[in-house]
Amino acid sequence: MPNDQARQTGAAPKAIEVITKDQLVDQGNGEVTATVGAHPDLRRDDGQPAQAGDVLSIQPDGTYQTRKKGTNGGFERAVVTPAGLVYRPNGTAGRSWLVPLASDWPNK
């Protein structure tokens, strides 16, 4: 249901966006990367728009960016948990972040 801000700005509320299991690429050792492609709301670290094949990159402060296909550094790797994808960009020295993951979806 629209809230007061949505009524005032004309902006419609958005649903929670999730990663679906078909977007995951196995990286071994129980870790995955998530392909988000040319996502219209995401940018690479150089400020360029996300491109086809890009993977999700969670920064140490929890912000979303993308990296080119095949990138699998610490900011791009996650583990699948019952709660969703867990990212820990700086390992034990940093914070952990949860990204929603759906195990099933319509319109396959």
Convert the pLDDT of each residue in 53-92 to its tens digit. 999 999 999 999 999 999 999 999 999 999 999 999 999 9
The answer to whether residue 10 sits within a structural domain is no
> What domain count does the chain have?
1
Question: 86 in a domain, yes or no?
Answer: yes
**Which residues constitute the domain of residue 40?**
15-102
The answer to the question of residue 20 being in a domain is: yes
Q: Is residue 90 part of a domain?
A: yes
User: pLDDT band at residue 11, thresholds of 50, 70 and 90?
Assistant: confident
Q: 88 in a domain, yes or no?
A: yes
Average pLDDT (13-22) is 95
Q: Is residue 107 part of a domain?
A: no
Judge whether 8 lies within some domain: no
**How far apart are alpha carbons 86 and 31 in whole angstroms?**
10
Q: What span, in angstroms and rounded, lies between the C-alpha atoms of 45 and 55?
A: 12
The pTM of this model reads 0.87
Residue 26 belongs to some domain of the structure: yes
